[in-house]
Amino acid sequence: MVKNHCLAKSINDVAWSLFRRTLEYFAGKFNTTVVAVNPRMTSQKCSDYGAIVKKSLSTRTHKCNCGCDLQRDVNAAINILNLALM
Ligand SMILES: [Zn+2]
């Protein structure tokens, strides 16, 4: 059903909503917190310097002029963590 363009967004929205509710439920159960972060530009932004380094989806490394050289997902994860801690 996700291949049906008309239903795909609704199905994905429900799946993410259920995932988020599940995380919030278990966070409450184990006395911790869940912070939702907008993932926009987290893979393009340098986690060290904050500069935007444009890259295609097939580029798997983040290399910035500041000397930062990380695996793309590690760079994004650091940016997401920093947003959550703000
Ligand atoms: Zn940088």
Tens digit of each residue's pLDDT (9 = 90 or more) over 15-43: 989 999 999 999 999 999 999 999 999 99
Cα of 60 to ligand 1 centre, how many Å? Answer: 16
- List CB-based neighbours of ion ligand 1 within 5 Å: 46, 48-49, 64, 66, 68
Q: Where are the domains of the chain?
A: 1-33, 35-86
Name the E strands within the chain.
61-63, 69-71
Contact yes or no for 69/63 (Cβ under 8 A): yes
CB contact burial 53-73 (16+ within 10 A = b; e otherwise) = beeeeeeeebebeeebebebe
Query: What pLDDT does 27 receive?
Result: 97
Cα of 48 to ligand 1 centre, how many Å? Answer: 5
pTM of the model: 0.77
Cα of 50 to ligand 1 centre, how many Å? Answer: 6
Provide the percentage of residues in the chain whose pLDDT is more than 70: 98
Is the per-residue pLDDT at 51 higher than 90?
Answer: yes
> Which residues are CB-neighbours of 5 under 8 A, at least 6 positions away?
none
- Calculate the CA 83 to chain-centre distance: 10
Query: What pLDDT does 1 receive?
Result: 59
